Amino acid sequence: MKMNIEEERFKYQTDYLKKKPRACFWILQKLRDDVLDSFSQEQRVSIACSNNHSLRVKILCDYFSSPETPISLSSLISEWNEIEKKTKPFQWIDIKNKDQVYWFYMHIRRKINSNNYDFTAITDLVHMELSELYYIAHYIFDDWSSSQESKELLQIKMKKNWEQKKYRDKVKGKKVLNIYLESKVKDELKKLAKENNKTITDFVENLIQKEVKLVNERKRREENINKMNKNRRPLRDCS
């Protein structure tokens, strides 16, 4: 059966929500803040437990399938599109990186909270699972009523702060070693490191660890030989 215009529009909108987790999260939160009374009791329970993208899509599809909703999905999508134009996503955040997502969430809360952002409305929205922390943090940033320039500046600062944190974590427990090498030797070292897809530091560390392992193995063999020699019985003199 051929769909009418309204059905085609609704299908397009639901497909849009499925492909846009950030938009879906933002729209559901807006409904929760603005028109929660228009949801049924069952839908309110679902919203309170909506801790994954698929469930959020289902809630929105069920809600907007009714012709009596006080707000249209089209208007919310249009509003979101305007936000999305001005707010670039944090593409450098790896949603599977637990340390990074947690840092992202805490950093966003700390930075935007200092600008009097009200967090009370979202504290019970979802269980704090990894992917949800990411979407909550992004929602806070997306909904932050600040200028585009301020948002872009915060993104730049956050990326710089994360790179600094990564570097500090990487060099933690390490000491600086200044040595002099002949130019030819240094060039060969760079070449070897590149061929092994390592930094010079990592390559040198790897070489040292291998050498230490060889030295220890040689010592163990020598110790075993010495023990065997000590335990060997002297030959009897049969003359």
Q: Are 162 and 92 in contact (CB under 8 A)?
A: yes
pLDDT at position 116 is: 47
pLDDT at position 236 is: 59
pLDDT band at 124 (very low <50, low <70, confident <90, very high): very low
**121 domain-assigned:** yes
pLDDT band at 125 (very low <50, low <70, confident <90, very high): very low
Residue 117 predicted with pLDDT over 60: no
**61 and 9 housed in the same domain:** yes
**234 domain-assigned:** no
**17 and 33 housed in the same domain:** yes
**97 and 39 housed in the same domain:** no
**93 and 148 housed in the same domain:** yes
Q: Which residues contact 220 (CB under 8 A, 6 or more apart)?
A: none
pLDDT at position 129 is: 75
**28 domain-assigned:** yes
Which of 42-51, 101-110, 200-209 has the weakest average pLDDT?
42-51
pLDDT at position 66 is: 76
- Per-residue b/e over 61-82, b at no fewer than 16 CB within 10 Å? eebbeeeeeebebeebbeebee
What are the tokens at 24?
A: 């879906």
**201 and 166 housed in the same domain:** no
pLDDT at position 114 is: 47
pLDDT at position 235 is: 55
Give the 3-state secondary structure of residue 68.
coil
**60 and 96 housed in the same domain:** no
**28 and 104 housed in the same domain:** no
Distance between CA 238 and CA 235 in Å, rounded? 9
Residue 221 predicted with pLDDT over 60: yes
Residue 25 burial by Cβ neighbours in a 10 Å radius (0-12, 13-18, 19+): buried
Q: Are 104 and 157 in contact (CB under 8 A)?
A: no
What percent of the chain lies above the pLDDT cut of 70?
81
Task: Specify the pTM.
Answer: 0.64
**33 and 54 housed in the same domain:** yes
**109 domain-assigned:** yes
pLDDT at position 120 is: 47
pLDDT at position 104 is: 92
- The whole-number average pLDDT for the span 146-167 is 90
Q: Which residues contact 3 (CB under 8 A, 6 or more apart)?
A: 11
Closest CA to 73 of 19, 17, 32: 17
Q: Are 3 and 11 in contact (CB under 8 A)?
A: yes
Average pLDDT across the chain, whole number = 80
**190 and 166 housed in the same domain:** no
Single residue among 86, 103, 129 that ends a domain in this structure: 86
> Which amino acid is residue 168, in one-letter code?
R
Residue 5 predicted with pLDDT over 80: no
Q: Are 132 and 51 in contact (CB under 8 A)?
A: yes
> Which amino acid is residue 132, in one-letter code?
E
**For residue 51, what are the CA distances in angstroms to 10, 210, 231?**
24, 47, 69
pLDDT at position 47 is: 64
**155 and 191 housed in the same domain:** no
**159 and 221 housed in the same domain:** no
Q: Is residue 78 left, alpha or beta, with left meaning phi > 0 and alpha meaning psi from -120 to 50?
A: alpha
Rounded to a whole number of angstroms, the distance between the first and last alpha carbons of the chain is 112
Single residue among 52, 86, 120 that ends a domain in this structure: 86
Closest CA to 24 of 84, 70, 91: 84
pLDDT band at 162 (very low <50, low <70, confident <90, very high): very high
Q: What is the extent of the structural domain holding 105?
A: 88-173
Number of domains in the chain: 3
**7 domain-assigned:** yes
**131 domain-assigned:** yes
50-81 confidence digits (pLDDT tens): 678 888 888 888 888 877 777 788 888 998 98
If you ran DSSP here, which 8-state letter would residue 196 be given? T
pLDDT band at 159 (very low <50, low <70, confident <90, very high): very high
6-39 confidence digits (pLDDT tens): 778 888 888 888 998 888 888 888 887 767 666 6
pLDDT at position 121 is: 47
**235 domain-assigned:** no
**178 domain-assigned:** no
**For residue 86, what are the CA distances in angstroms to 116, 150, 154?**
21, 11, 13
What are the tokens at 96?
A: 């599977």
**3 and 82 housed in the same domain:** yes
Q: Are 13 and 6 in contact (CB under 8 A)?
A: no
